[in-house]
Amino acid sequence: MSQYKIIFTGPVGAGKTTAINSISDVPPVKTDASASDMTKSRKSSTTVAMDYGIMNLADGEKLHLYGTPGQERFDFMWDILVTGGIGLVLLLDNTRADPFQDMRFFLDAFDKFIVDTTVAIGITQMDLSSKPTIEDYHIQLREMGLKPPVFAVDARVKSDVSLLVQALLYSLDPGLEG
């Protein structure tokens, strides 16, 4: 049976684990480790291997949701992860020092996969940092010759994550009727 999957990627803390949790039908399998961080009350752990969730589809099929480890030392796993993937969801934390650099890094790292499939970008933490704006991201993307969906996303909110994934699917085929 085919393994259908959507890959969630992005830097540490962008909300990949939370986003998968928002739309998964089963509690995500986490492979987190304790973060050596002074504010454990806010983010007590970080993903060192990968997150995994499942969406059960109507006919008994399953869609697998994989989150890449945010830490770059695990990037050797990315190629393995994307095999058989139907699309990429890139989450970017707007409070990071240089979110455009993050965006370029991940788009570059997954460029072949994006060419073969498609990408949708979610910008998280915009309520904490409103700059850069969504328009600023589009300007950067235009320079890269890309026109993907870019939405402000609260990874905790199911409808935000759902809309982003829907946009990813319609980018693959606007003729789809859900």
Partner 1 sequence: MDKTKRPLKVALHGMDGRSYKMMSMYLQGPCKGLAVVVDQGNEDIDIFDLDGVNGEALITAHLEKQTQKPAIVLSLHERMIENVLMVKKPVKIDDMLAALSKAKALLDKPATPIKRQDAVVGDKGNDNLDTQAVAKKADQVDEKPVLKKFVLNTDEQKKTSKHQAAMQLDEKGFGAFIGNVPGIDVNDPKQFARASYNTKEYFQGYVESAYKICHSKGQVRQLNSGWNPLIIFPHSQEIWLDVDENQLRSFSGLSINATLGSKMSITPLSQDSSTADRKLERFQSMDAFLWKIACWASKGRYPASIDISQPVYLKHWPNFTRILVTPHALRISALLIQGPRTLANVAEVLNIKPQYVFVFISAACALGLAGQVKREADVLVQSPEIKPNKNQGLLGRILSTLRGKKA
d(CA 68, CA 11): 9
**Out of 27, 42, 73, 145, the residue judged to bind partner 1 by CB under 8 A:** 42
Q: Provide, rounded to whole angstroms, the least separation between the CB of residue 75 and partner 1.
A: 18
**Out of 96, 114, 119, 155, the residue judged to bind partner 1 by CB under 8 A:** 96
**Out of 3, 37, 79, 144, the residue judged to bind partner 1 by CB under 8 A:** 37
Which residues touch 33 (CB under 8 Å, ≥6 apart)?
A: 45, 46, 48
Q: Find, among 164, 167, 7, the residue nearest to 85 by Cα.
A: 7
Instruction: Kindly state whether residue 72 participates in binding partner 1, applying the rule CB under 8 A.
Output: no
Instruction: Kindly state whether residue 4 participates in binding partner 1, applying the rule CB under 8 A.
Output: yes
Specify the residue, 58 or 80, whose C-beta has the smaller distance to partner 1: 58
CA angle 92, 40, 103 (to 5 degrees): 10
Which residues touch 109 (CB under 8 Å, ≥6 apart)?
A: 9, 75, 78
Residue numbers at the binding site for partner 1 (CB under 8 A): 4, 12-13, 23, 36-44, 55-59, 61, 63, 86, 93, 95-98, 126-130, 133-134, 138, 141-142, 147-154, 157-160, 162-167, 169-178
